[in-house]
Structure 1
Amino acid sequence: MAVEGTTGRVTRRRVRTRANLLDAAFEVFAAKGFGRVSIEEVCEAAGYSRGAFYSNFASLDELFFALYRQRADLIAEQVAGALALDGPGLDVPQSVDRVTDVLLLDVDWLLVKTDFLVHAARDAAVARTLLDHRERLRRTIEHRLAGLPALPAVLGGADGAARAVVAAYDGVTTQLLLDKDVDSARAWLKQLLTALLTDGSGNPE
């Protein structure tokens, strides 16, 4: 029979261990690159044994997906929160300003994500899981864009517009990986999204 309060302490300790492993893995992946890091290195950076790792994650892939989910959820919350401020309607220029001001543009994260994209491109099962996570962000954007009275016809509706927004983000962040200029990345993203979602004047078509 468990001592009262013991289960709660174990659960809190497990949550803390998992969080520490994720934090340590992020730092090691960013410094060395995914695919060049062993479980032992993650454990050493976090100060835990392999047993602690395997009690939380079955593999480095699983650990990465937990990291990816954290960041994807954060980005989705940032986008949804910025877009929700308009209420039922959507003021595109103002919404673009808010999204690009708050959107996570972290070079270390982009390094980790890019490494894993290359890894996923060579493994169909990993690629499917990664695509599922990316789809969640796209659906969040599509749902909000569906409230616009009109979108540029070339985009083919809210689904196409959401895909274009994600593509613009991917392109801008690729440049950010090379020049490390976050301010320029935000400015370019703002210009691209405004041009994509309006007729160029800042007003939807």
Structure 2
Amino acid sequence: MTVRGTAGRVTRRRARTRANLLDAAFSVFAAKGFGHVSIEEVCEAAGYSRGAFYSNFASLDELFFVLYRERADLIAQQVSDALAGDGPGLDVPAAVDRVTEVLLLDRDWLLVKTDFLVHAARRPDVARTLLEHRAGLRRALADRLARAGGPARLPAALGGADGAAHAVVAAYDGVTTRLLLDEDAAGARRWLKQLLTALLTDGSGTPV
């Protein structure tokens, strides 16, 4: 016999355990590096047993991809929100201003992501999964650009909204690499704005 409300409490407790494990893993990854962290260390930081870990994740790789998906979804949402005011006929310079103002530039996350990128580069199966996640982020960005009426207002050389999404992600990757080294978030935002303006317009702020 199931006591009324028990299933709901178990579900909430499981969700809380999962969230705590993710938070603890993020902190430990950022402090020590993805490749230098064990499941035991994540469990210790979160205050749970290995059993709690394995009831939520099959491996540290799987846990990382949950973290990655959360932040990829956040970035896509930030871009979507920044472009929400634009209907057909995207105002590219204004959109660039809004995107660079809100876009996630968190150095701890960049450290974790970079460590995992090196890890994935040596494991083809992990690399394929990471590429799929990155492709999903680009598709989300391209979809928002297309729905904003962007393709007709973007440089033809980019190949439409999909090419523009690739350019945005590449610029973000480049700027965040610099941020890892100089720790200048304000400078990174300025540089990202300059790059996106140059990529998405004729360089003067006027869409091609």
TM category, shorter: over 0.9
Confirm or deny that 1:164 pairs with 2:185.
Answer: no
SS of 2:83's partner is helix
Query: 1:201, CA displacement in angstroms?
Result: 1.6
Corresponding letter in the other structure for 1:181: D
Q: Deviations over 1:62-99 (max 9, x none)?
A: 11111111111111110111112212331111111111
Q: Which residue of 1 aligns with 2:70?
A: 70
Structure 1's unaligned 5+ residue stretches are: none
* Matched AA of 2:166: R
SS of the aligned residue for 1:77 comes to helix
- Structure 1 counterpart SS, 2:4: coil
1:48 correspondence with 2:48: yes
Deviation at 1:35, TM superposition (A): 1.0
Q: 1:37 Cα shift?
A: 0.3
Q: Distance in 1 between matches of 2:34 and 2:186?
A: 27
- The separation in 2 between residues aligned to 1:158 and 1:68, in whole angstroms, is 23
Whole-angstrom distance in 2 between the partners of 1:150 and 1:193: 14
Q: CA deviation at 1:151?
A: 2.2
Pairing of 1:185-200 with structure 2 (within 5 A)? 185-200=188-203
Deviation at residue 26 of structure 1 after TM alignment = 0.1
Worse-superposed segment, 85-94 or 58-67: 85-94
Is 1:19 aligned with 2:19? yes
Q: Which residue of structure 1 lines up, in the alignment, with residue 206 of structure 2?
A: 203
Q: Which amino acid aligns with 1:151?
A: L
Distance in 2 (CA, whole Å) between partners of 1:42 and 1:122 is 23
| TM-score, normalised with respect to structure 2 | 0.95
**Which has the larger displacement, 105-114 or 82-91?**
82-91
Decide whether the 8 Å contact of 2:89 with 2:153 is kept in 1.
Answer: no
AA matched with 1:42: V
Taking the aligned partners of 1:39 and 1:131, their CA distance within structure 2 comes to 24
SS in 2 for 1:35: helix
How many angstroms apart in 2 are the aligned matches of 1:192 and 1:103? 14
Q: 1:128 corresponds to which letter in structure 2?
A: R
| Aligned residues with identical type, % of pairs | 81
> What is the one-letter code of the residue matched to 2:172?
Y
**Is 1:178 the counterpart of 2:163 in the alignment?**
no
Q: What amino acid maps onto 1:198 in structure 2?
A: T
Superposed CA offset, 1:41-68 (max 9, x none): 0000000000100000010001111111
Deviation string, structure 1 residues 143-162 (Cα, Å, up to 9, x no partner): 23332223223323222221
Residues 88-107 of structure 1: matches in 2 within 5 Å?
Answer: 88-107=88-107
